[in-house]
A = this chain, B = another copy of it.
């Protein structure tokens, strides 16, 4: 089992990569983690230029030696690769599992729109930096390396398609060629470091899109590190999401256990569940 780690958005700390590698050596002896050197590059906001990030992603995805592509860290920037990367993905890329969240929703969406079957929303190596971050990283490795399902969001069930996105990222994808078809899906949403008026605006946007109105329902994960709203917004994130579900006729299904924190659970996309799945 060989996992490639690339950074389509922001630069990963080398110390984090070393800690995650050590953790994998200790607890997942059958796994080889390969941090692509691109993870440590820096170009302005990004982990290298668009060309450097694109090449690294393509190398990892198209190399038949790797079983999975694990995204190192979010931030901002994976959208800048969509136009150049997707049409260069080859057959071995389609066989791999892809795991990440936050800004990486851009890539997950693009891969889903292109019919890639094995996509999941969940922890990244950079989560190691959080307090008790090992917990999040081990949840990801249990899933990627062992195919365990015990890190799944508790709402995930078989024979019902699922998807999960950051609210802002999904909003910024609408009406582009990379908007995924989520008809019939249970859609889990989360966000971080936004003002509530931005959350309200993005929920307006998502629930006003005719294709998005075909989702089976919405569950709301954590909306954390909310920025001060002036004046006070006077509604909670749940009230905001319930409001837009009501306006749009999308069923609100309750809470989700995802967010920018160590508890962030894994959500496999569509009907796919890992092959060596076990409920242990």
Contact = CB atoms under 8 A, between A and B. Distances in A.
Number of identical monomers bound together in the oligomeric complex: 2
A122 to B, nearest CB: 22
B174 A79 contact: no
A11 to B, nearest CB: 8
A176 B178 CA distance: 15
A79 B201 contact: yes
A169 to B, nearest CB: 9
Given A179-B175, A202-B172, A204-B79, A45 B209 contact: no
Interface string A78-107: 011011000000000000000000000000
B201 A234 contact: no
Interface in A31-69: 42-45
B175 A44 contact: no
Given A45-B233, A234-B45, A176 B205 contact: yes
Given A83-B208, A175-B175, A205-B172, A197 B229 contact: no
Contact of A174 (B43, B45, B174, B201): B174
A42 B232 CA distance: 11
B175 A172 contact: no
Contact of A43 (B43, B204, B234, B247): B234
Contacts of A233: 44-45
A78 to B, nearest CB: 10
A29 interface: no
A196 to B, nearest CB: 8
Nearest to A233: B45
Contacts of A79: 201, 204
Interface in A142-178: 171-178
A83 B179 CA distance: 22
B83 A235 contact: no
B172 A44 contact: no
- Listed residue (A83, A171, A176, A235) with the most chain B CB atoms within 10 angstroms of its CB: A176
B44 A234 contact: yes
A28 interface: no
A76 interface: yes
Given A83-B247, A197-B76, A201-B79, A208 B45 contact: no
B177 A208 contact: yes
A233 B44 CA distance: 5
A47 B176 CA distance: 33
14 contacts: A42-B231, A44-B232, A44-B235, A45-B196, A45-B233, A45-B234, A79-B201, A80-B200, A80-B204, A83-B208, A83-B247, A174-B175, A174-B176, A177-B210
Given A76-B200, A172-B204, A175-B179, 8 more contacts: A43-B234, A45-B197, A45-B229, A45-B232, A79-B201, A174-B175, A176-B209, A178-B208
